[in-house]
Amino acid sequence: MAEGIEVRHRKGCPKADDEARRCNCKPSYRASLWSGRERRKIKKTFPTEAAAKAWLQDARVGLRKGTLVTPKPITVRQACEAYMAGMKDGTIRTPGGDPYKPGVIRSYTSSFRIRVIPQFGDYRLGDVRHVDLQDWVDAMLAAGSTPRTIAVTVGPLRTVYRRAVKRGEVAVNPAAGLELPADRGRRDRIASPEEAEMLISALPTIIERAVWGTAMYAGLRLGELQGLRWDDVDLAGGKLRVERGWDQFTKQVLTTKTRAGVRSVPIVPILRDLLLDLRMDQAKVGADHGYVFGIWGGKGNRRYTPDRPFDRATMWLYSRRAWKAANMTPIGFHECRHTFASLMIAAGVNAKALTTYLGHTTISMTYDRYGHLMPGNEAEAARLLDAFLREKAEERARLAGE
């Protein structure tokens, strides 16, 4: 076959056997060109002639620049397994160059093993088409999968293909540009100042009150709460330092979620009282060191293990039980973080400072997540505009009366 584009008719089409006859199928188009470096032809098939021409033009430029390589015949299963292994041993890293967090590794591994590999594992990596993935997405949605589930399924596969393109294992990324269902989700619960105080007061032990108080009044993530040590807490200076996290599953200390996660957070008086009560109670049994929220047990809360953080499931079980007994709606750790943000906004803290306290990478992330709570939303804008118009009307009336 000469270098260029070949029209490939489907089996049974009259034109496949006789060029003079009329085509009754939807043909594909195979583009090919010779690679002198590899001493072989590079071929790729497309559904349209325009796509084939575009690839052929880009491929010729790639050959001249030395950036075009021949796709390697590996399967989707092999690519996913290689990616999982690379994440675990640190040879494959995030786009920012950091090792993947254990939670992300677990999420990717679950996605690969439960959904991706059973569906496409035996396919050659380069044989999966964009339309195959789009049909898969549509089928998941029709079967009742939530938009969030679909997004966390497609995301890891898209990452695998992005790496494969860079390594020359495939020519194009079929996962790029997929039409995914919108994830509107539900608005996360936010406790009012009164409810936050009542939720904390309903808890029976000092350490529970301190944990949930820190979650609601300092906005720490769950892993950051578990990783907080007394050396990080400056009660006299009124601030705490977030420098590490804790992984519940691997039982190991982690860096913060992002570089911006290393930060100082102000300790408001209500939180200072909760932490001071906890430290005084721990000091009675010589446990006022190590992790702030260590494992506790025994009768009441007077037996602490400061060299290991509290267990999330245990904390949730006991706290939820107390809230149910008080006829209160339980609140989750991430909802406490949203509550902290809402309280700071209501208090007039500016967006830049809030971005720092939350450990967000950019201020746009804070605006995207909490912009609806900030001054300038619909209700606030209407109030400000109404006040402005009333002021101008009163000014006109006053001038007319003079």
Chain position carrying tokens 């043909």? 27
pLDDT bucket at 216, cuts 50 / 70 / 90: very high
Q: Read out DSSP for 93-125?
A: --TTSPPPPHHHHHHHHHHIIIIIHHHHTTSBG
Closest CA to 339 of 211, 206, 188, 223: 188
- pTM equals 0.65
DSSP state of 264: E
DSSP state of 192: -
Q: How many CB atoms lie within 10 A of CB 284?
A: 10
pLDDT of the residue at 184: 64
Across 303-320, average pLDDT: 91
Whether the pLDDT of residue 223 is over 80: the answer is yes
Whether the pLDDT of residue 204 is over 70: the answer is yes
Higher pLDDT, 357 or 58: 357
% pLDDT > 90, the chain: 46
Whether the pLDDT of residue 17 is over 90: the answer is no
pLDDT of the residue at 1: 43
216/115 Cα distance (integer angstroms): 36
Whether the pLDDT of residue 377 is over 80: the answer is no
pLDDT bucket at 379, cuts 50 / 70 / 90: low
Q: Report the residue count for the chain.
A: 402
Average the pLDDT over each of 58-72, 80-94, 106-120, 137-151 and give the range with the smallest value. Answer: 58-72
DSSP state of 166: H
> In degrees rounded to 5, what are phi and psi of residue 245?
-130, -175
- Write out pLDDT tens, residues 228-252: 999 999 999 999 999 998 887 778 8
Tokens (6 digits) for 164: 């494969």
- Write out pLDDT tens, residues 272-290: 999 999 999 999 988 889 9
- Write out pLDDT tens, residues 102-141: 888 989 999 999 999 999 999 999 889 999 999 999 999 9
Q: Read out DSSP for 354-377?
A: HHHHHT-SSHHHHHHHHGGGSTTS
Tokens (6 digits) for 377: 């939303």
Which CATH class, in words, describes the domain spanning 193-373?
mainly alpha
CATH number of 76-167: 1.10.150
Q: How high does pLDDT run on average in the chain? A: 86
Whether the pLDDT of residue 306 is over 80: the answer is yes
Tokens (6 digits) for 330: 């339980």
pLDDT of the residue at 300: 53
